[in-house]
Structure 1
């Protein structure tokens, strides 16, 4: 994932916790959805940006024919290392890359796909312009973003529970970045600023997040995201305290055993227009 304007870093122990806890909790069902949408375009060459620990990459490797080339990129090398460690059922190309400066030739991919990554791009229109540049004419850009935090029950519950431990003058990382880019009008405006002339198709997709115990969402969000850095900056015991508070809040709202919470995201698809023909 790309760092935001406030500089969250997916490094240290975050990639392993992210892969172990957060990926199965909230990402897997949406990854399968994106891979299915990409496969429907029957592409010859696919680029994934902000690939993280590879949850979509693994789905793409399964859903696409062996002859389809897959390049999976991310700004964070530690996240890519975690993805490569997990592996895929067939070879893919892993590439460290900034989505705002993609190291690929013009018109070199049929589809560009991004799962829950565009929220992290400091200059979204610039990143979208890079996506448009590397897409072939009539190629497709497919991505998803989280809906507002109030529509995503586990993170909402956790942020409310630990709010007193976070800086009072700044929205928490979770609210500010991952769940802060959900307005369809803004998304369409940024795509247009990036050069996309087609109207994007934007749909809402609701899913369920399940975990075997309340501590799993607590660890996932408190320790597997850059919110961990915010908490650790508050003192040596704050991360453990926040995890305990989050666990108690999840248990109070969803029960002490298996827990289920609502997820909601926006799925966006937009075509790259063909170059104008001058006669």
Structure 2
């Protein structure tokens, strides 16, 4: 069931601090776009599935009546709670839970979101089905997943650094069985019961003061990098990070924008 190491909560627990600090720079533009697609109102009740440290939840809370956030990483949920308290947001309830078995009643929410979370579920079909179940008739779901790396100059730069540190590492080829494939994305949403589905591409560009800042943003918040660090051990990881930092310092032009692209699936539950 856990062939994908990113389907394990402990990996996300280990990157929670870095994720809370650095991930919003990348995630917030996509969360803002997801909210535009769903168009919640001040009376809306929404659920944020695989919420992480709450980028979407924190952005949505001032505009809606209620936010329920769920994530399988206790460390992520803890940081979400702290951020909500610091922002004075009392309408967010965050809890540890499984996006494949949501702890909510049927037809409770006006909108459901999963930002770069459901894509990692061992049973994506169950994740989509649960989002459909908790939506009221007329509700909308927005799910995001990364586009293939070749569409992301930002990720290509990072893989260039990884390749410099280990020539055996190459950019991954597109995975046509994953949500990188718009046809798969649409078919899985449709199988869960969603209608009027659209798969949208959305890109955002990031800039960094220099390659070192880019390294910190992309690596300290990255669960895949945490897996690599665990597998390599601290000595070999230190050796590789030195090479990766040097690569980015040499190849990234300070303040130059690099884009990254996501696919966003928007589906509706019929009235």
TM-score category (smaller protein): 0.7 to 0.9
- 1:22 and 1:217 in contact (8 A); partners too: no
The number of residues matched between the two structures is: 261
**Counterpart position of 2:77:** 80
Match among 172, 180, 183 for residue 182 of structure 1: 180
Instruction: Please list every run of 5 or more consecutive structure 1 residues that lacks an aligned counterpart in the other structure.
Output: 275-279
Report the alpha carbon displacement of residue 131 of structure 1 after superposing the two structures with TM: 0.8
For each residue in 1:87-106, what CA deviation from the matched residue of structure 2 results, as whole angstroms up to 9, or x when unmatched?
Answer: 24421111211110011111
Residues 171/269 of structure 1: CA separation in 2 closer, same or farther (3 Å cut): same
Matches within 5 A, 1:85-124: 85-87=82-84, 88-91=87-90, 92-124=92-124
Report the alpha carbon displacement of residue 163 of structure 1 after superposing the two structures with TM: 3.5
**Counterpart position of 1:277:** none
Match among 260, 266, 271 for residue 269 of structure 1: 266
Residues 107/5 of structure 1: CA separation in 2 closer, same or farther (3 Å cut): farther
Residues 125/132 of structure 1: CA separation in 2 closer, same or farther (3 Å cut): same
**Counterpart position of 1:151:** 151
Match among 241, 246, 249 for residue 248 of structure 1: 246
The structure where helix makes up a greater share of residues is: 2
- 1:4 and 1:122 in contact (8 A); partners too: yes
Match among 53, 67, 70 for residue 70 of structure 1: 67
Report the alpha carbon displacement of residue 134 of structure 1 after superposing the two structures with TM: 0.7
TM-score by length of 1: 0.83
For each residue in 1:29-59, what CA deviation from the matched residue of structure 2 results, as whole angstroms up to 9, or x when unmatched?
Answer: 1122223333346652111111111111111
Aligned partners of 1:242, 1:181: CA distance in 2, in Å? 30
Answer with 218-227 or 262-271: which moved more.
Answer: 218-227
Aligned partners of 1:237, 1:176: CA distance in 2, in Å? 32
**Counterpart position of 2:12:** 10
TM-score by length of 2: 0.86
CA RMSD for the aligned pairs? 2.6
Report the alpha carbon displacement of residue 204 of structure 1 after superposing the two structures with TM: 1.1
Residues 120/167 of structure 1: CA separation in 2 closer, same or farther (3 Å cut): farther
SS of equivalent to 1:79: helix
- 2:112 and 2:140 in contact (8 A); partners too: yes
Runs of 4+ in 1 over 6 A off after TM superposition: 174-177
For each residue in 1:155-187, what CA deviation from the matched residue of structure 2 results, as whole angstroms up to 9, or x when unmatched?
Answer: 22222322375695x988x9899xx63111010
- 2:110 and 2:139 in contact (8 A); partners too: yes
